[in-house]
Amino acid sequence: MGLLPNIFGKMNSLHEGFSAGPSPGFQGDGLTNGEYDLSYSHSMKCNRDDPGAIHMNPLQSLKRTVETASCNILHPIAVRKVSKQMPSGETLNDLSEFFKVFADKTRIGILWALSFSEMCVCDLSMLLKVKQPAISQHLKTLRQLRLVKTRRDGKVVYYNLDDDHIHAMLNLGLNHIQEV
């Protein structure tokens, strides 16, 4: 056990199926946030009777659990099946950046407005009641992510959605939050 008490703070008795993880902070558990309780574990919820599961020695799994925050039981068939469908790390990063766009009320408003009509910065500013420089900054972000495209007519630049996928995403999101 040597270094474990220094690493994890309070330790409860070691028993089969334990896993190290931050205390969930429940009242009465005697642990403060950031301390580790080796008896509380996601792995306790795993089905030990599952014939497709690999059962590891709890002491062997401690290091793996601390490093990966995984449970003691690995389901290789499920992992193999899902791993074939997983996009690359770069693609996941790009997807994450894409969804960050939808985390801002003004950008959602811009995309929503542009899903119905092309508009210039001044029109979007009036519609959304947001200052023109802020609208321009949001449009720059949306252009960089190829969500909107521009069309110039003299001195005026008009913005429009780059494709119908964005309109579909907005409608899916709206349908989801309106479900009861």
* Structural domains of the chain ordered from first start: 4-82 (no CATH), 92-178 (1.10.10.10)
Q: Which pLDDT does position 166 carry in this prediction?
A: 92
Q: Which pTM was predicted?
A: 0.57
Q: How many CA atoms lie within 13 A of 113 on its CB side?
A: 22
Closest to 132 measured CA to CA, from 115, 149, 157? 157
Q: What is the pLDDT of residue 21?
A: 44
Helix, strand, or coil (residue 145): coil
> Which of the two residues, 27 and 118, has the higher pLDDT score?
118
Gap between the Cα atoms of 7 and 123, Å rounded: 58
| Amino acid at position 161, single letter | L
pLDDT above 70: residue 51: no
Of 8-12, 54-58, 94-98, 165-169, where does mean pLDDT reach its minimum?
Answer: 8-12
Q: Which residues of 132-164 are buried (b: 16+ CB within 10 A; e: fewer)?
A: eeebeebbebbeebebbeeeeeeeeebbebbee
Residue 19 — very low, low, confident or very high, per pLDDT cuts 50/70/90? very low
Q: Is the pLDDT of residue 65 over 60?
A: no
> What CA–CA distance (Å, rounded) separates 60 from 23?
21
Cα 101–102–106 angle (5° rounding)? 85
Query: Quick one: pLDDT at residue 59?
Result: 52
Q: Tell me the three state secondary structure of residue 159.
A: strand
Q: Residue 8's pLDDT band (boundaries 50, 70, 90)? A: very low
